[in-house]
Amino acid sequence: MSRRILLAGGAGFIGSHLTDALLERGDEVVILDNLATGQRKNLVQALTNPRCSIVEHDITEPLSTSGPMGERFDMVFDFASPASPSDFLTMPREILAVGSAGTSNLIDRALADSALFFLASTSEVYGDPLVHPQPETYWGNVSSIGPRSCYDEAKRFSEALTMANQRTRRLNSRIVRIFNTYGERMRPDDGRVVSTFIRQALAGEALTLYGDGAQSRSFCYISDLVRGLLAITEQEDHLPINLGNPAECTMRELAETVVDLVAAPSKIVNVPMPPEREGDPLQRCPDIQRATSLLHWAPTVSLREGLGRMIAHYRELKANA
């Protein structure tokens, strides 16, 4: 059954891959994006489909009710937020506005259309966790004043706003907490560790490890994540669901894998943790028991396989630059 979907943030890394999957499923997709961090080039193929259109708009401003926005939507997806460490430094006010006014505007539209509202939240709501791995029942260990707080607290507020509307206004909602995701269309200069290591290795530069490199993350390839996102829309549980890969690795292990796959002469060097990275979690790993139980979902793409695909994509971008 074809559905009409409003996808805020559809020109971003995850949003554009989700757009492709929704179109492949047969849905009609109207993308809302102010292109602050999203890019039209992510949608080159999608926008050739007559069931896909884009409206350049900042969701913190009132939503239009004309043109592509004039018809009812079956689902409203909130994927509209800058989400990289470099964005935290340069766009903190915008991030906070998107997580409050922006989410509120999208919720109001979902309520007006009697549509399902889907919030893309994040593992950052757990902060620097004292529980490992992190289940959805964990309330987190979050600083409200550090350099990352604009994003962490914006998403926590978005979740609270979603649940408040679910309880008081019967909003039909879903919440996903997305753990570290990587793949094609990540901005090479976005400051995230996977894209940074690959960019450095392809340039023959040293890979820079903050601190001792013992910090750990769990990396989920984009196709696995999107498969989980679609599965969440097909079930009725409104409480948060973690999506991520529980295969944990240290930053040093990640750097060594990238150097090996690129076959680069790059060295791996340790550098002091910069002040702007204050509050970076030491560990991050999802407990995916709810996703496994409710969605029958688990990631299938290994880190080496996913990194290989991403490296090939970056090589192609470099060759065409």
For the 182-217+247-285+300-320 domain, the top CATH level (class) is alpha beta
Please give the pLDDT value at position 205. 95
Please give the pLDDT value at position 263. 94
The pLDDT of 144-166, averaged and rounded, is: 96
Coil/strand/helix, residue 133: coil
**Rounded to 5°, angle at Cα 129 from 303 and 199:** 35
Classify domain 4-179+221-243 by CATH number: 3.40.50.720
User: Which residue out of 126, 138, 151, 314 is catalytically annotated?
Assistant: 151
**pLDDT of residue 276 exceeding 70:** no
**pLDDT of residue 306 exceeding 70:** yes
Mean pLDDT for all residues in the chain:
95
Asked if 138 is an active-site residue, the reply is no
Coil/strand/helix, residue 134: strand
**pLDDT of residue 238 exceeding 70:** yes
Q: Which two tokens stand for residue 315?
A: 């090589």
| CA–CA distances in Å: residue 122 to residues 55, 109, 189 | 25, 22, 21
CB atoms within 10 A of CB 214: 12
The pLDDT of 61-82, averaged and rounded, is: 96
Closest CA to 189 of 86, 102, 51, 281: 86
95/99 Cα distance (integer angstroms): 6
**In the chain, ranges of CATH 3.90.25.10 domains:** 182-217+247-285+300-320
Per-residue pLDDT of 182-208, as tens digits, reads 999 999 888 899 999 999 999 999 999
**In the chain, ranges of CATH 3.40.50.720 domains:** 4-179+221-243
Please give the pLDDT value at position 192. 92
228/119 Cα distance (integer angstroms): 14
Longest dimension (CA), the chain: 59
pTM summary value:
0.96
Show the beta-strand stretches assigned E in the chain: 4-8, 28-33, 52-56, 75-78, 116-122, 173-178, 181-182, 207-210, 216-218, 220-221, 241-243, 248-250, 268-271
Taken in order 25, 115, 220, 36, is the CA torsion positive or negative? positive
Which region, left, alpha or beta, applies to residue 128 given φ > 0 means left and ψ of -120 to 50 means alpha? beta
